[in-house]
């Protein structure tokens, strides 16, 4: 029995079957000649006879909860995921500067490389999340992210402050997207973007961690600022100590 079904599936795959994704699940049973010329005999000449689900062959099933024309309600989430990839490479180059002989700050390099890695992994995880929810990924970006270039010479404090800015900005955007997907009334159409599951993902997987990162980085920035302001002459030594702490 098993072998018959497999044989049938093989022939079925080879048949010149045309997909018709525009139709909904209510599409009536197809006429028999829809499968075109089929070489094999027996059940394979009519897949309906051995595969009861043939009615589903004419449309893709989707895990998406809004219909195809409304999928753009997720564009902000897609752009947000792509921002993580962009920021990941921004941190990547920012970190690399601190590994040069002239800067030689392994601690700062480690801190920034860590941010780069977590942005990369988060970006990939968000793409997987989209796939889970039936949202196709595209490389679209927000206007303010399009122009990001690998950075020129940056001081230790400026790099930490920049990282704090980036992370805080990501937290603010997460908040905005969360609001977009969690605000609706009972009678509102799903196309307005309400998506409790996605909101939950944003709050639990992204924001919880981000809140800590922002706090850590703003703390570092303020610490460095105070060290500099109160004892500018000792600042090079302060940086040396601070770098050691980060290592």
Partner 1 sequence: MNKFGILAAIICVFASVSADTCDVSAREHLNNIEFVDMKKGCVQLTEDQIKKEITASLKYLSYGAYFSQDNVNRPGYAKFYFDAASEEREHAHKLIEYLQMRGRYFDIQDTIISNINIGQLIKESEQAKALGLDHGWMKAPEPRANGLSAGMESLRTALKMEYAVTESIRNLIIACEAEKVDGKNDEVFNDYHFVDYLTGEFLTEQYKGKRDIAGKISTLGKMIKDNGGELADFLFDQKLQ
Q: Where do contacts with partner 1 occur on this chain (CB under 8 A)?
A: 6, 9-10, 13-14, 17, 19, 60-64, 82, 85-86, 89-90, 92-93, 96-97, 99-104, 120, 124, 127-128, 130-132, 134, 136-141, 144-153, 155, 157-158, 161-162, 164-165, 168-169, 172, 218, 221, 225, 228-229, 232, 235-236, 239
User: What is the radius of gyration, based on Cα positions, of the chain?
Assistant: 27
Instruction: Name the H helices within 15-142.
Output: 75-97, 106-132
In whole angstroms, the minimum distance from the beta carbon of 189 to partner 1 comes to 22
In whole angstroms, the minimum distance from the beta carbon of 218 to partner 1 comes to 7
List of residues 6+ apart from 55 with CB closer than 8 A: 25, 27, 28, 29, 30
List of residues 6+ apart from 112 with CB closer than 8 A: 91, 94, 95, 98, 159, 163
In whole angstroms, the minimum distance from the beta carbon of 82 to partner 1 comes to 6
Nearer to partner 1, 124 or 203 (CB): 124
Beta carbons of 123 and 92 less than 8 angstroms apart? no
Nearest to 217 by CA among 152, 172, 158: 158
H or E, element range at 3: helix 2-14
Nearer to partner 1, 169 or 184 (CB): 169
Tell me which DSSP letter residue 66 carries. Answer: S
Nearer to partner 1, 147 or 186 (CB): 147
- Cα–Cα distance, 110 to 148 (Å, whole number): 22
In whole angstroms, the minimum distance from the beta carbon of 32 to partner 1 comes to 19
In whole angstroms, the minimum distance from the beta carbon of 67 to partner 1 comes to 14
**6 burial class (0-12, 13-18, 19+ CB within 10 angstroms)?**
exposed
Nearer to partner 1, 34 or 96 (CB): 96
In whole angstroms, the minimum distance from the beta carbon of 184 to partner 1 comes to 24
In whole angstroms, the minimum distance from the beta carbon of 187 to partner 1 comes to 28
Nearest to 94 by CA among 114, 122, 120: 114
Overall size of the chain counted in residues: 247
Nearer to partner 1, 68 or 188 (CB): 68
Beta carbons of 231 and 213 less than 8 angstroms apart? no
Nearer to partner 1, 23 or 225 (CB): 225
- Cα–Cα distance, 239 to 228 (Å, whole number): 9
Nearer to partner 1, 110 or 184 (CB): 110
């Amino acid at each position: 029995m098993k072998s018959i079904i497999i044989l049938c599936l093989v022939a079925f795959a080879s048949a010149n079957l045309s997909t018709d994704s525009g139709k909904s699940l209510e599409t009536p049973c197809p006429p028999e000649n829809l499968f075109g010329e089929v070489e094999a005999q027996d059940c394979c000449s009519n897949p309906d006879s051995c595969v009861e689900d043939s009615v589903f062959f004419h449309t893709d099933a989707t895990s998406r909860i809004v219909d195809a024309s409304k999928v753009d309600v997720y564009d902000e989430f897609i752009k947000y995921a792509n921002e993580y990839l962009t920021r990941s490479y921004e941190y990547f180059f920012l970190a690399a500067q601190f590994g040069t002989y002239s800067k030689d700050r392994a601690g700062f390099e480690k801190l920034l490389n860590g941010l780069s890695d977590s942005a990369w992994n988060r970006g990939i995880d968000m793409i997987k999340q989209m796939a889970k929810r039936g949202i196709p990924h595209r490389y679209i970006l927000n206007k303010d992210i399009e122009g990001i270039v690998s950075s020129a010479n940056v001081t230790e404090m400026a790099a930490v402050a920049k990282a704090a800015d980036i992370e805080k900005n990501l937290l603010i955007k997460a908040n905005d997207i969360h609001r977009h997907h969690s605000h609706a009334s009972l009678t509102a159409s799903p196309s307005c973007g309400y998506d409790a599951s996605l909101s939950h993902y944003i709050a639990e997987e992204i924001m919880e961690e981000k809140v800590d990162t922002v706090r850590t980085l703003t703390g570092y920035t303020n610490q460095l600022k105070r060290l500099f302001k109160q004892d500018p002459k000792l600042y090079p030594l302060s940086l040396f100590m601070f770098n050691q702490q980060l290592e």
